[in-house]
Amino acid sequence: MKEGGPNIGLRTLHNFSKNFHFPDWWHAHSMLVPGRSVVRYAYDSLHNSIRSAAVGLGNAERHDRLRYRANVSQCGFTIIEVMIVLAVSGMMFLAAVILINGRQNKAEFTTGIYSLQQQLQQAVNDTTDGFYPNNGGFTCNGDSSPVTFSSTSQKDTQGANGGCIFMGNALQFGLGSGGAAASSIGILPLVGNQYNPPGSTIPTLTVSAAAPRAVYPGSSERQVPTNTVSVQYMENGLTVAKANTEGCSGVNSGICYTESGNATIEATGIVAFVTGNSDGTITSFGSSGNYSLKAGSQQLSLYGVSGGSVPSQPNQSLSAASDSIGNTLNGGASNLHPAASASICIASATTNQSGLFTISSGLRVTLAIKSGLTC
C-alpha cells in the first residue's frame, strides 16, 4: 500500500499510544481513588488492541508490496519471448508483402498482355490502311530486283516511288537478348517491285515476283534508310517465351506459323502482313486491262518468315531481320511464306503466366492467358 492510505488514522493512533504515558499523579490517585484501576485497565486494553491492529497493518502492507512486485515481474517478457513475437510478426509481415506483391504482379501482367493485343491489332490496321512511315528523304528504285534505295533531300509522296510498291509490314519480336531490347517489337515496312520484269510496265501479279524486302539495311548493305522502322515495347517486361508447347508443337520456338496448303509448322521470329490474297496473288487483270498498284487501303494476308541463310528467330537485330526476310544478301529471293495462322507465346517477367496470341488468316488477333511460361 501507499504511504498516507486509508489506514493512516490507525497508524497515528498507534504511534500516539506508544508515546503516551499517564502522569505520576494519575498513578498515585489510581491507588487511592476507587475505580481508577478499572480506568487504567481499560486504557491498557485499548492500547494493546491498537498495537495489535497496527502490527497487522504493517504485515498487510508488506504483503501488498510483495504481491505488487510479483505482479510487476509477471507482466514483463523474457528475451526469448520477445524474439518469438518479433519472428512471428516478421513472418506475418513478409507473408502480407508477398501476397500484395503477387497480386500487383498479376495485375501488371494482365494490363501488359491486353495492351500488347491492342498493339498487334493496331499494327494490322495500320498496314491495311496503307500506312507507309517514310520519315526521311530517300527514293526507291524498282529497276532491279530486289529494289534499291538512294538518299534524297526531299520526302517522296506516298506511292510515288517509281517502280516500287509498299507491300506491308513485318514484325520482329524481340531485338536483343535482355532488358528493353528483349521486350521490343520492330516494325519494318516491306517494299517490292511494282513491275515484272523490273523496269517494264507489266504489273507484278504475285508476292514472289515482287520480291519484297524490308526498308532497313541488312548486314552487308549500304544506302538503305534506317529511319522508316518504328519500335514498340511490350509493357511490364513481357518477352517472347522460350517455347510454345501448345501453338508450336514439335518446334523449339516461342513463335511459329502454319504454312498455307501443307499445314507445316515453322519456327520464326517474324510475322508479316503482306498485300494480296492468301495464295500469294497481288492482283489480277481488271475489266479495262489496266494495272495501277500504289500504297493505300488494300487486302492483306498473313505471312511467316523462314529459310534462307539467316534463319528467322526471336530477339535478333533489325539487320538480321532484314537478312532473314530477304535482300541483296541472297539475290532478292524472299523468305516470306503464306500462313494459315501464327502462334506467339509471350511470357511474364514476374509471374508464372504467359499469353498465347493467335493470328488467323483473317488477321484477327486473339489472346488466351496460360499458366506457366511456355503457353
Residue pLDDT tens, the chain, 375 long: 444 444 454 455 445 445 544 454 444 444 444 444 544 555 555 455 545 554 554 555 555 565 555 554 555 778 888 889 889 888 888 888 877 777 889 999 999 999 999 999 999 998 887 766 555 567 788 888 888 887 666 655 554 567 888 899 999 999 998 899 999 999 999 999 989 898 888 888 889 899 999 989 988 887 788 888 999 999 999 999 999 998 898 788 999 999 998 889 999 999 999 988 888 888 755 555 555 444 444 689 999 999 888 899 999 999 999 999 987 676 666 899 999 999 999 999 999 999 999 999 889 999 999 999 999
Distance CA(343)–CA(271), nearest Å, equals 9
Q: Residue 266 has what pLDDT?
A: 95
The full length of the chain comes to 375
Report pTM.
Answer: 0.71
Q: Which residue is it, cell 517465351?
A: 241
The predicted pLDDT at position 10 comes to: 45
Lookup: cell for 166: 509498299
Q: How far apart are CA 195 and CA 293, in angstroms?
A: 9
